[in-house]
Each structure stands twice: as C-alpha cells, then as structure tokens.
Amino acid sequence: MGGRVEYEPASAKELLVELKDTAELLVDLSFSAVLHGSDDVAEEVLRLEERMDILQLRARMTLLMAARSPEDAESLAPVLGVVAATEKMSDAAGDIAKVVREDVGLPDAMRAALPEAAESLVRAELGADSRYTDRTLGEVDLETETGVRVIAIRRENHGESGPGAGTDWLPNPDRETTLRAGDVLLLRGPETGVAGVFETVTGVAYDRPAPPEPDVADLERAVDSVVLMKNMSELAVDLAYGAVLFDDDGLAGEVVELEAEVDQLKSRFEAWTLRAAADVPDPVSLRGLVHIATATEVISDAAVEISEGVLRGLDTHVVVQEAVEASDEVVVRVPVEAGSMLAETTLGDERVKTQTGMRVVAVRRAETATSGETWVVEPGPDTAVRAGDVLLAKGTRSGADRLRGLAA
C-alpha cells in the first residue's frame, strides 16, 4: 500500500463509528478465515486492514485539529488512545489472516474438525444478471428465506483517486442497503443455504472444498479453542467500545476480567500446540497456531486500552457522546438478582430474546463454593441463569430496560 494521506475536514463522530464497526468486522473475518481455511476471506481482511490504516490516520488528524486548550487535550487523550488501540487490533487481525494467506502453518484438517453447527463464511461477487442486483436486502429478505446473512459489502467506486479512494466498505448493511452489480458480499450461514445463495449471487455453482483427513490427534480441541478465542476476543472488543461509548465503568471492569481469561486460554492453547508438535511429522505445520494465540492476546490487550479512559475516571469527550447518539445498539451489563423472573431459569425458559429483543452475548457466572468465576460465551436457550450471574447483552435501549426488569 502507498500514497499520501492528507487532512480533510471530517466528522470525528462518523470516523469513530466507522473505526468501531471496521475493527469488529476485522476480528470476526480474521478468525473465520482461519477456521474455514479461506484464502478469499483472508484477502478481504488484508484489504480491510489497509482501509483501517487510512481511517485511523484521518481520525488522529481530526482529533488533533480539535485540541485548542489543555482541557481539550486532557479530554481527547483517551479518544486518541481508542484510535491507537484500534490500530493494534487491526494489525493483529491482519497477522491472523496472514497465517492463512501466507501458509505460515496450520493443520490442513481444521475445517473438517469444525462442529456440525458451525456456519460457513464465503465471499461472492454479485453478477449483473443476478436476481438480487439493484434490490435492497429488505426486498431480497435473504435471512428469512435462506438463513444466510450479508455481514459486509465491499463496493468499488470508480473515478475516485487517492489512497483508499474508490472502495467503500459497508460493515453493517441493513434492510435499506441496495445491492449493486460488482459488489463483493461476505455471506454467513448454514452450508446448504450458503451454497444456494452463492450460486444466485455469482451465477456459478458453489464448490465446497473437500476437507482432508485429520493429521493431528485431538484436533477438535484446538478448533474449539480457536472458536473460544474468537468469541472471547470479539466480546472484549464489544464491551470495550460499549464502555467508552456509554461511559460505563462496570463494562470496563468486565473487559479487564475477560482479558485475564484470554491470557489463561492463550497459555493453555500454546501448551496444547507444543504437545501436539511432538506427534506430527512436521512440527512447523503448527506454527500458525502460535501466531493466532499471540494475536488474540494483542486483541484483548487492545480492548483494555480502549476502555482505559473509563477505568481511570476521565470524562468522555463530546465527540464520543455524539457517537453514542448516533448508535442504534447498546451494550449493557445486567446483574441477575435473587427472586427475579430470570433467577434459576434458562434463557430459553423466559424467552429473553423474544421478550426483550436483547441478545445475551455472554454470562459471567458467579463464584461458588466449589469454583471461581466462569464465563459462558455465546450462550444459548439452554444456558442456565442463576442469582448473582451477570448478563452481557446487546440491543436497543428500550430492550435493555425490559431485560433489567426481568433480572431485578
């Protein structure tokens, strides 16, 4: 990549929102590229990382132009810290993608060891003759019809110049987003649904790669660990931005707890990799797993840096408050009280998602006489909820109030 990045007047609020969305997408895509062994998805991560480099430079320029007094400098310092931590996160996601793109060393059969319920992620370019072309996602209604979601769109804008110009990323396309010929869609969903949507998008049959036979004993444990690292690092990023956007020291504290959990997981994963290396013909083939563990720790450390201003009690700058007002989604931390409707039930029993519209992304389980605090990442309907647990959930402000009501 190259080219000069010059200062242009821009909304700091919009830049921060785009940084947040892009960072979350980068982390998601990088781990997905590893789990699915996808060079195509890894290539999109590296493209997006270049976009992120330009975004963070523009954000720094805009924030520096806004500092006109010592008070401004004091309040903007944590925001600059957010930008710097986001850059670290982006670089770490790029390092994870390069494990796939540059064949650093991964077991060939990782995709074969994925759980049956794991969703596929593919890249597909929208053809001019596709029946989806020039229609909105709401009109196409992909998720209802097929179970497949468009999680991001890369769109080329011809005729522009300059570094990063000519390419738009839409990290969170909604029902109003119109699909155009030439758009690169990142599709996630069940294998059968993805195959049909891919063919409709591109006009070409989906060629599912045949997974090779496992060449490493107990590979399922390694894959489970990578999935868990993905979920925990994504959650840490989510909560870190939530802590900053909503000036919530409770959420910031949860980020610190999660970072400690990721450190322990990294140590266990490295120990497994070293033991497995003794039993494979070519130990170098596992080198990429060590890279992934290291990059995961960088992502969780960056999440703590994002929330550092909140942890230190620094006031949130007005530009972040404006970003809050532009945000449609909140991240909340809800303690479950004894005697509440949620206590001693499951998330499915009380139909939490249906009743509140909130998605519980994690449960921090209260310490018991026999065990310390534990995390349930990506909980499902069967996840038990006990008094003293803390639910971490995403959704609307009104939904958050309803969830608090159930837990009180």
Percent of the chain having pLDDT more than 90?
24
Q: What is the pLDDT of residues 42-99, one digit of tens each?
A: 999 999 999 899 889 988 888 888 777 887 777 778 788 888 999 999 999 999 999 9
pLDDT exceeds cutoff 70 at 284: yes
Q: Where is pLDDT greater, at 18 or 331?
A: 18
pLDDT exceeds cutoff 80 at 242: no
Say what the pLDDT of residue 328 is: 55
- Residue 315 DSSP label: P
Say what the pLDDT of residue 160 is: 47
Amino acid of residue 367: E
Percent of the chain having pLDDT more than 70?
86
Say what the pLDDT of residue 204 is: 93
Say what the pLDDT of residue 153 is: 94
Helix-helix angle 318-326:219-245, to 10 degrees: 110
Q: Are 393 and 358 in contact (CB under 8 A)?
A: yes
Q: What is the pLDDT of residues 132-177, one digit of tens each?
A: 999 999 898 888 888 898 999 999 875 544 444 567 888 878 888 9
Q: What is the pLDDT of residues 54-66, one digit of tens each?
A: 889 988 888 888 7
Kindly report which listed range (15-19, 179-183, 314-318) carries the lowest average pLDDT score.
314-318
Contacts of 302 (CB under 8 A, 6+ apart): 85, 86, 88, 89, 92, 237
Q: Most confidently modeled of 172-176, 298-302, 310-314? A: 298-302
Say what the pLDDT of residue 370 is: 65
Say what the pLDDT of residue 398 is: 81
Q: Where is pLDDT greater, at 232 or 315?
A: 232
Say what the pLDDT of residue 163 is: 41
Q: Are strands 167-170 and 149-156 parallel, antiparallel or unpaired?
A: antiparallel
Q: Where is pLDDT greater, at 234 or 373?
A: 234
Residue ranges and CATH numbers for the domains of the chain are: 12-112+220-323 (1.20.58.220), 120-202 (3.30.70.1450), 329-407 (3.30.70.1450)
Say what the pLDDT of residue 1 is: 47
CA nearest 187: which of 57, 360, 62, 40? 40
**10 φ/ψ angles, rounded to the nearest 5 degrees:** -150, 160
Q: Is the pTM of this model over 0.75?
A: yes
Dihedral-angle region of residue 169 (phi above 0 means left; psi in -120 to 50 means alpha; beta otherwise): beta
Residues 336-360, mean pLDDT to the nearest whole number: 86
pLDDT exceeds cutoff 70 at 325: no
Residues 256-285, mean pLDDT to the nearest whole number: 87
Say what the pLDDT of residue 127 is: 95
Retrieve residue 204's tokens.
């070409």
